[in-house]
Structure formats: structure tokens, C-alpha cells
Amino acid sequence: MSEQFDAIVIGAGQSGPFLAARLAGAGRKVALIEREHLGGTCVNDGCTPTKTLVASARAAWAARHAAQFGVVVKGPVTVDMAAVKARKDKVVGASVKSLTEWIGGLKTLEYIKGEGSFVSPTEVKVGKRVLTAPQIFINTGATASVPNWPGIKSVPYLTNTSMMNLDTLPGHLIIVGASYIGLEFAQMYARFGSKVTVIERGSRPAMREDADISAAIRSILEAEGVTFMFGTTVEAVAKAGHGVLLSLKCGDRLASIEGTHMLVALGRTPNTAGLNLAAAGIETDARGYIPVDDHLRTGVKGIWAMGDINGRGAFTHTSYNDFEIVADNVIDGGKRSIAGRIPVYGLFIDPPLGRIGMSEAEVRKSGRKALMGVMPMARVSRAKERGETQGLMKVLVDAQSKQVLGAAILGIGGDEVVHSLLQLMAAGTPYTTMMHTVHIHPTVTELIPTLLADLKPLQ
């Protein structure tokens, strides 16, 4: 016999628990199924733990550079990785505990530990239980992609998840992949004191970004001792003593590199394998994602897909926004959708990158008439006062409507400063409004009006 619920939520990432809570708050009987832990990637092995580690790495960097600010630190600066991990675990544990207590206190919500898989479009099996509901919401997220290199199963490689268990300092950390996850770990561990080498098959780091942004990112990390190998692919891996040996191909040249640890940072794979989607009549696309419409509905009536699993956003903030949209549609009778959602994300190296809207390359490809302004952070008083002048600010606007098309702020506070431009975009406000607004001195944001006043036609 199947157990009747009003709604079933499969997966407890950044959409699932909040939607389950809203549904329960509306008086509906809800089952929340999670095979591993509440909070998903963000809380357990993504945003929360990595940014906690970034903070520790920042403290080590600041201590080593204290003399530049007239502060004397006697003796060499060392890092206690066990203490760093303990701090990270404490922060993560507090987040999970808070989420668990909140979910556990909701009277019409049952939290079920286990792996859910479809039996039919309205039924989900968890262990020996079969649950049924007219509405089912999928929020199973994604996991690190691991390539099928020869020898990969014989070496103790790391992913962003298993990196969270490290409590010792790698002597030589080899990172395969120079995108966002790889770059954050590269700087982090270089600051902790590891030798770090990043292998990338492309020609530059963060290939999604414009070339000038990538060049600035490379400069920042190389200045901290990170070594890059571009145009390089991994042909095979093998054990080497207590470490790993990578056989490489650089163009027509063969090479090898040995390290104590290897982190594979080559993207994410959606967690669809265990869902038995065929039983629900759901098909995935070529990359394994579940196609959805702008309201996050799948092709099967009564089933929604939220977060990383739908391929419409790969961030905590897009996943949470998915929850808000579905809740508005399903509970509040609204019409919110992801149509027109402005792309926005950050790269949390130090200094960070805040990115919104279109890149220069995307604007050029669109063929529209546009204006662009670029300013080095070395012109920003706040950056000079802090002694951190790396990076640049870049803004693109539509030449006719004067509306902001996109921006990249790579520099101190870049992940926060960029939101001032995001609000202009969301409101459809012309950039001239910000130009005519008085800003606080000395801040980073105060230089954006100066940048906007010097826009030039995009040639």
C-alpha cells in the first residue's frame, strides 16, 4: 500500500527544504526525502565550508603581509590545518543543526532519510516505503564530474567534496581544471602553504570570462605562487609513492608531473541516475539535466525540477530563486518565472569577482550598439588604502536605452559592489541615474559613476 501525501520533495538542497516548509506551512502533508544530508552542496561541501576555508587562508595571507602595514609578526607564519578544518566543521555543523531543528519542528512535514526513486508519475519509493502525491518536486543537485582517465580508479584523487576532509597540508596540490572551483582552491591552498599547479586544457583560466578578466585572474594567482599549465590534457594517472603521477599532453609534446594530492575540478554532473526517471516518463537532455519550462515544470504534469538538476542555473542563489518561483506559482497562485532572470554569480578568490548580465564577448556577439567602460582598481582610493589594487572594473551599457547590459568587478568588494549595478538592471533604470547620485567616500562603489562618465563606443 502506498502512503498518501499532498506533496513529495526529493532532495534537500537549497530549494527542497524551503519549499517543503512553505508547503507544510500552508497546511499540506509533505514528505521531504534526502539520501545524504540537509542543505545540499552549499551547506555541506560548497559555499559554506569553502568560504570558511577562504577566510582562514585570508588570515594567513594577512599575517604574512602584516609588515607592509607596519604590524610586526614575530617568527614564521604557519597554518594548523587540523584547526582550520575544525573551524570549518563547526560552521558547517551549526548550519546543518539549525536546518535540521527547523525542519523537524514542522508538524505536517515528514523528513525521510533515504534515496527516492520514481515508481510512476505520482509514486516515489524510499527503501521499503512507497509514497504517492499529486505534486512531486525534484531537487537532487549535482556532483563533481570525474573523467575516465586510465588509472583514475587506482589513485586517491580528490573532489570538492572529499577536499573537505583534508586536515593536513598537501606538499604539492595538482588541480585539474581552471574554472571557478579549481581557482578558489588554488589560491586557498597556496596561501595555506602548499605548492599548487593548475592544469587546464584551455588557453586561460575562467574561460567563461572575457580575456582581460581572465588575464587579471591569472596575474593575481601567479603573484601568489600558483603555477598554470595551459593547453594541457591529462592522458593517464598513476600512484607515485604516497602521491600521484599525471601523464600529460601539451600540444604535440608529452610530459608528466608528480604531486602529493590531485583535485579533479572539471565541472558537475546532475544527480539523475538513481531517480528512475523513466518510470515517471521524464527524459533528460544530452547532458543529463531535466528540461523544464520557465515555471520549472517538467514535461510530466505535477512534477517540477529545481536547482542544479534542471540546468537553468548552477548556483545556490539560482536554486533558492527556483524555490521562490515554484512557491509563488504552486502556493500563492502567482506567475513568477525564470524568464528574464539576470545571470549573476561570483568567483571567490581574493580579491573576488562579481559578474552580472552579459560579458563583452556576448554583447559583441549580439551585434547591438553598446558603450563600455574599463577602470583598473589601482585608480580606486579604497583599494590603494587597503594595499590591494589588483583587478579592474568593467561595465557595458546599451547605447540607445542607456540600460546596463552587464558588468564585471574584479577587486576588493567586487562581489558586493556589483549588486548596485544589478539593481539598475533589474529596475530598467538608465546608468545616468547612478552617475548623478552622490556616493560615500572612500568606497569602491563611488568610482562606478566616474567609470560610467567615461564610457566609449564598443568598436
Model pLDDT for residues 344-381, shown as the tens digit of each residue: 999 999 999 999 999 999 999 999 999 999 999 999 99
b or e along 394-418 (b: 16 or more beta carbons within 10 Å of the residue's beta carbon)? bbbbbeeebebbbbbbbbbbbbebb
Instruction: Provide the pLDDT for residue 36.
Output: 87
- Cell 543543526 sits at which residue? 97
| Angle formed at CA 412 by CA 410 and CA 415, multiple of 5 degrees | 60
| Angle formed at CA 180 by CA 261 and CA 351, multiple of 5 degrees | 105
Of 96, 124, 107, 87, the residue nearest 36 (C-alpha): 96
Grid cell, residue 280, equals 515517471
CA distance 12 to 16: 5
Instruction: Provide the pLDDT for residue 45.
Output: 87
Instruction: Provide the pLDDT for residue 133.
Output: 98
In this structure, which amino acid lies at residue 91?
A: V
27 DSSP assignment: T
**Residue 247 three-state SS:** strand
Question: Are the C-beta atoms of 5 and 30 separated by less than 8 Å?
Answer: yes
Run of H or E including 113: strand 109-113
Instruction: Provide the pLDDT for residue 1.
Output: 82
Query: pTM for the full model?
Result: 0.95
Instruction: Provide the pLDDT for residue 37.
Output: 86
Which segments of the chain have a pLDDT < 70? none
- Cell 583535485 sits at which residue? 263
Return the active site residues: 441
CA distance 280 to 301: 10
Radius of gyration of the chain (CA): 24
CA distance 353 to 425: 18
CA distance 240 to 71: 42
| Angle formed at CA 23 by CA 22 and CA 29, multiple of 5 degrees | 140
Q: How far is CA 200 from CA 38, 178, 254, 276, in A?
A: 33, 6, 15, 35
